[in-house]
Amino acid sequence: MSIQTIIIGIIAFSFLIFIHELGHFTVAKLCKIRVNEFSLFMGPKLFSFKKGETEYSLRLVPIGGYVKMEGEEENSDDERAYNRKPVWQRFLVIAAGPIMNIVVAILLIFLVYINGGYGINKVYDVQPQSPAAVAGIEKGDVIIGYDSKAINNPQDYLLLSYTNKGEDVKIKFKKANGSIKETSLKPNLTGYVIGIETNSLNDESSLKITNLAEGYPADLAGLKVDDVIVGADNIKFRNLSEFKKFMMNNKNNKFTLNIVRKSVGNDTINIEITPKEQKNTNSSSLGFEFDQYAYSPWAASQINELAAKDTKIKPYVSDSQWNPGEIVKDSVLYSYSIARSVAYSLKWLFTGVVKTSELSGPVGIVSLIGKTVQQDTVFWWIKIFGLIQITAFISINVGIFNLIPFPALDGSKLVILIVEKIRRKPLAPEKEATISLIGLAILMLLVIYATYNDIVKGIFGG
């Protein structure tokens, strides 16, 4: 992991923590509550300054932050103390942090959508003889439901299909004429992979390998990052979609991958490779692919302007029109999808559907940010928008996670306030502080465990 990646990751974290604490701080000030300290991060103090009654500080450990209000952890006779304010004001102060994270995430997603574009749940391609083809799903159909749950974007499909173990699923889809149909399909969970990641843009640059999974066929066969796939078995590929089609038809048969490697003079190298069988939970398990993106007019013009100068770049042509009138709604729906994924993930962890070894912590998130920053693309704005979208994703996770009623999180404080309102008697601040301290200790252990998972994945793959 490069220094640049770590710095960008810390900046992204710091921004989200600042936004969260700013929510608490702003509403506290509006409610005329005395704020003694506004701190970014935890641990020993690096530096601070005081303005008015509030001390602003930066601390050493880049995890978390806090707003220290008079009377929050102890009884205070100050008229502006937190404990002297009515329940509804204290509720607003506590809720403001996670709500600020969610609102900022929606704004960030809107910024990406209005300038770059957005993913859509329209079918781009259907594999012949596949479950989708047999059921009558065609190119141009819009997938709107999975087992009676709404599909608003391709991420919803990935989430809802993640735990499918081969059971029949009900797919609801809308035809081009507006009619709604529903059908039951049996997924084909047997997929075949070689263990590579490539750029997301659907042009020739999308065939450039950006990452190799350790121990997978591509890695074992000697492929390298920055190799460019040009064909297989002497069949030429113009873009990533054509390579995916080849892989679906080839299944687990050995084939010869044709690549170009700059380090050996751009000559074509032929490498024999046998795909590895792996569980397939995405849309290709039913035999269809989603349309990749609906680019904004500005982004589309950037792609087509470069395509006019460089024949290697495929012009952007899509049946899916970018619709500015839908962007506000789509930004909110995408945020809802992320929030729903947090709820499902927590449920699956507690019920054992997914293993705790799949937990990721700060190191894993920084690594994800790094992959976005380091991806090789001819368009600078793809990196920028990717980074903004990941920041929005993390911001919603922070907001939703903080609303969980677990000690030390905002959610538990909200529950305590609701109980206080019902019983008309507050919990002693000292007891609440003890509960929060125990919860914080448990959360720190969870962070350490998740960080351990990230390190193990980084060293051994996975």
Count helices and strands (H / E) in the chain: 12, 18
Neighbours of 10 (CB within 10 A): 15
In this structure, the answer to whether residues 166 and 286 fall within a common structural domain is yes
Residue 203: pLDDT band with limits 50, 70, 90: very low
Query: Does 145 score more than 90 pLDDT?
Result: yes
Predicted structure pTM score: 0.80
- Within a domain: residue 336? no
Query: Does 20 score more than 90 pLDDT?
Result: yes
What pLDDT score does 410 carry?
92
Query: Does 265 score more than 90 pLDDT?
Result: no
In this structure, the answer to whether residues 178 and 288 fall within a common structural domain is yes
In this structure, the answer to whether residues 149 and 287 fall within a common structural domain is yes
**Distance between CA 240 and CA 199 in Å, rounded?**
9
- Within a domain: residue 234? yes
**DSSP code at position 282:** S
- Within a domain: residue 318? no
Give the residue, 5 or 188, on which the prediction is more confident: 188
Domain CATH code at residue 138 = 2.30.42.10
Give the residue, 225 or 2, on which the prediction is more confident: 225
Instruction: Tell me the average pLDDT across 379-395.
Output: 85
Candidate from 37-46, 122-131, 164-173 with smallest mean pLDDT? 122-131
**Distance between CA 444 and CA 450 in Å, rounded?**
10
Candidate from 30-39, 114-123, 177-186 with smallest mean pLDDT? 114-123
- Within a domain: residue 65? yes
Candidate from 150-159, 309-318, 326-335, 440-449 with smallest mean pLDDT? 309-318
- Within a domain: residue 240? yes
Instruction: Tell me the average pLDDT across 276-284.
Output: 73
- Within a domain: residue 205? yes
In this structure, the answer to whether residues 257 and 142 fall within a common structural domain is no
Give the residue, 387 or 97, on which the prediction is more confident: 97
In this structure, the answer to whether residues 125 and 93 fall within a common structural domain is no
DSSP code string of 94-129: HHHHHHHHHHHHHHHHHHHHHHTEE---BEEEE-TT
Query: Does 316 score more than 80 pLDDT?
Result: no
Give the residue, 322 or 19, on which the prediction is more confident: 19
State which residues form the domain around 246: 192-277
**Distance between CA 127 and CA 258 in Å, rounded?**
24
Candidate from 6-20, 26-40, 102-116, 279-293 with smallest mean pLDDT? 279-293
Give the residue, 95 or 238, on which the prediction is more confident: 95
Domain boundary among 259, 292, 325: 292
Give the mean pLDDT of the chain.
84
Q: 122, 142 in Cβ contact below 8 A?
A: yes
Total domains present in the chain: 3
What pLDDT score does 211 carry?
78
What pLDDT score does 204 carry?
47
Distances (CA, A) of 197 to 109, 224, 357, 375, 410: 24, 11, 22, 10, 38
- Within a domain: residue 144? yes
